[in-house]
Structure 1
């Protein structure tokens, strides 16, 4: 493999700049590699959907760096619901027994008061948005760099880094074999979680995946 250094972001800031410029970025998550983009850039999202052969109606998972950042998305939940979500994200970040850890993504209802701040190509046909406060420290820094008037919640699209029907990349090398110089890369290791992220409904607590 003779990857071009031009496709490897040398810093989090430059990775963020590539996302802001509409590029796709592969990066490590808790368990496998993800591929993402600026969720507010429809053309970039459509490129990911095309790569994944994924219908827009399904919606997309997004990650951010802090629960406080997305407080408006948690506001419509009751205390018990919020507590479950915040506890799961805190557990994800405690980094204890990483081999048995599992990241938690939650389907959060989108209040009408902020509905226009979450693009329809992210929610798909749903009235919820799939969100995770990511435990990976490097990707947290990346999300922090994405915060702006354009992206107030510091959101980053996060879908598994693979071609349709193939296994998700678990290393940089595997990600590069899939996509080569078509996209950019933030090179680092995953956190080593062996279980895929769990998706749950914030209102009911039921496990979707």
Structure 2
């Protein structure tokens, strides 16, 4: 079943579509992080300003240098020892759509531990956009049953995994990391 869902989601993403999918945190809306048109569809669906950037997911930490010019050494330690899913905002974003890069050149990036996400990213060979499955300004849904119908109807594919779970999930911890290793918490 996991393999079937990965194949279906992969085809939609490769065709420029957007998906609704489970992650190691809350449900996300995602697409190919190099496809600007697909990213714009997500902004429209969320009714979100394009000045508020979205994060990307990678499957393994050795992919960080593919998308960040200079990854501070501490980033790997933070990822390894974080007790909760951790999104790192780092400058020097590269090899992704300009629509995901903040004005200061940074992007938020998380190494996902979710098997569906990891395998989908491996097959896609690109990072996956991840943004909470809600209209901008509304609360993030804690599980699938709390996702607004407008979001479900607005994506090209809804991944059929974990839809019946009512486990309360929280968004990731977010830290801004400077090239010199200095950091600050944005969201704990």
For the superposition of Structure 1 and Structure 2, which TM-score range results when normalised by the shorter chain?
0.7 to 0.9
Per the normalisation by structure 1, the TM-score is 0.74
Distance in 1 separating the partners of 2:45 and 2:154: 11
Q: Could you say which residue in structure 2 is the equivalent of 1:87?
A: 77
Say whether 1:45 aligns with 2:39: yes
The residue that corresponds to 1:151 in the other structure is none
Change (3 A) 1:125 1:174: same
Call closer, same or farther: CA 1:193–1:132 in 2, change over 3 Å: farther
In structure 2, the residue matched to 1:110 is 92
Which residue of 1 is the match for residue 175 of structure 2? 200
**Shift in alpha-carbon separation, 1:39–1:158, aligned structure 2, 3 A:** same
- Larger C-alpha radius of gyration, 1 or 2? 1
Select the structure that is richer in helix.
1
Task: Report 1 or 2 for greater relative contact order, CA contacts < 8 Å, sequence distance ≥ 6.
Answer: 1
1:22, 1:41 within 8 Å by CA — same for their partners in 2?
A: yes
Task: Pick from 116, 124, 140 the counterpart of residue 138 of structure 1.
Answer: 116
Residue 27 of structure 2 is aligned with which of 22, 25, 33?
33
Q: How many residues align?
A: 179
Distance 1:142 1:125, change over 3 A: same
1:138 is paired with a residue whose SS is helix
Listed one character per residue, the Cα deviations across residues 175-209 of structure 1 (whole Å, up to 9, x for unaligned) are 3734334321122237x574421111121211122
TM-score of the superposed pair, with normalisation by structure 2:
0.82
The match for 1:188 is 161
Q: What SS does the aligned partner of 2:34 have?
A: coil
Alpha carbons 2:88, 2:176 under 8 Å: kept: yes
Secondary structure of 1:157's partner? Answer: strand
Relative distance call for 1:74 and 1:56 in structure 2 (3 A) is: closer
Alignment of 1:6-85 (within 5 A): 10-73=4-67, 76-77=70-71, 81-83=72-74, 85=75
Q: Distance in 1 between matches of 2:42 and 2:68?
A: 27
Matched with 1:157 is: 129
